[in-house]
Amino acid sequence: MRILLIEDDPKMAAYLRDGLAQEGYETDHAADGRDGLLAAAAGGFGLLIIDRLLPTLDGLTLLRTLRGAGVHTPALFLTALGGLDDRLAGLRAGGDDYLVKPFALEELAARVAALIRRNAVPPKPTRLRIADLELDQLSRTAWRGGQKLDLKPRELELLEYLMLHENQVVTRTMLLEAVWEFHFAPQTSVVESHISRLRGKVDRGFSRALIQTCRGAGYRISADD
């Protein structure tokens, strides 16, 4: 899977390419907006990572132009602009995700994986299944080993998000954004507390724990150990 990185800072670009290579991705690099636009329009990429402040053509205009021309490659903005309206502007321009610098490589890797998979996998059935854990997205119900789980709406959303990203690491920030719509970091352990509750309901009493903690990165739901 090839990723196009549009970033004018050579050090940042080298760091990103290095980090993404460790995750198994090949990257092409464009050092300004115009080159990036041309490369992205040529196609063949699974994901675009775009800086917002670029020479010759800013990131927002670049992506808006691409979207206008019918290029729907997933795009992630990676930018120092972290103001209240900046994220919204990025999403409005056609961005699929928005990550503010500085960031942890684990955070970027998790988001890149989620975006690429979202695009590659056909639409999910409405019934998610991992080992003996099942979740029906329409009736908002979940079962483990055939036993109905007593989940609160928020816990079900959390479980649903984890199951939609089966075998992928999802970070705390991704969960906060997707499940709680928090675009800031609370000072307390909101995610940890809810995961702990969810574990108590999903995994307690079963020999195999499906919800796993990836130290320093986030959580993952998987039937594998």
Partner 1 sequence: MIERRAARLLSISGFRLALRSVGLSLAGAVLVFAIIYHASQATIRAALDQTVAGEIADIRSDVHDDHKPLTASVNDAVAEADGTFYALTGPNGALLAGNLTISPALARRWHGLATLHRHKDPALPRHVAAIRGRAVPLPGGQTLYVAENASALLALNRLIANSFLAVFGIILTLGLVGGYLAARASLRRVEAITATAGEIMRGDLSRRVPLSGRGDEFDRLALAQNEMLERIQALMENLRQVSSDIAHDLRAPLARLREHLELARRRHPGPELAAMFDEAIAQLDAALGIFAAVLRIAEIEAGARRASFAPVDLSALLEGLAETYEPVLAHNSQALSLDIAPGLQVRGDRELLTQMFVNVLDNAVQHAPGAAVALHARARAGGGADLILADRGPGIPAAQRARALQRFVRLDSARHSPGSGLGLALVAAVAGLHGGRVRLEDNAPGLAVHIWLPGL
From candidates 118, 127, 154, 208, binder to partner 1 by CB under 8 A: 154
Task: Show the CA angle centred on residue 29, arms to residues 216 and 31, nearest 5°.
Answer: 110
Number of residues that bind partner 1 (CB under 8 A): 37
Q: Determine, following the binding rule CB under 8 A, whether residue 12 of this chain makes contact with partner 1.
A: yes
Q: Which of 2, 18, 118, 127 binds partner 1 (CB under 8 A)?
A: 18
State which residue, 85 or 224, has the beta carbon closest to partner 1.
85
> How would you classify the pairing of strands 97-100 and 75-79?
parallel
Give the distance between the most distant pair of CA atoms in the chain. 59
- Residue from 123, 125, 138, 181 binding partner 1 (CB under 8 A): 181
Stretch that binds partner 1, among 28-36, 139-147, 190-198, 202-210 (CB under 8 A): 190-198
Query: Any contact of residue 85 with partner 1 (CB under 8 A)?
Result: yes
By the rule CB under 8 A, 180 interacts with partner 1: yes
* CA separation, residue 24 to residues 73, 134, 146, 183 (Å): 19, 31, 37, 29
Instruction: DSSP for 2-66, please give it.
Output: EEEEE-S-HHHHHHHHHHHHHTT-EEEEESSHHHHHHHHHH---SEEEE-SS-SSS-HHHHHHHH
| β-bridge partners, 26 | 2
> Footprint of partner 1 on residues 88-147 (CB under 8 A)?
101-102, 104-105
Q: Shortest gap between Cβ of 74 and partner 1 (angstroms)?
A: 23
Q: Is residue 201 within the footprint of partner 1 (CB under 8 A)?
A: no
Residue 189 touches partner 1, criterion: CB under 8 A:
yes
8 A C-beta contact, residue 120 and residue 130: no
150: contact with partner 1 by CB under 8 A? no
Strand partners, 2: 26
Burial of 33 (0-12, 13-18, 19+ CB in 10 A): buried
- Interface with partner 1, residue 190, by CB under 8 A: yes
Q: Which stretch binds partner 1 (CB under 8 A): 7-15, 28-36, 121-129, 133-141?
A: 7-15
Cβ contacts of 72 within 8 Å, gap of 6 or more = none
Return residues touching partner 1 (CB under 8 A): 9, 11-12, 15, 18-19, 22, 53, 80-85, 101-102, 104-105, 152, 154, 180-190, 192-194, 196-197, 216
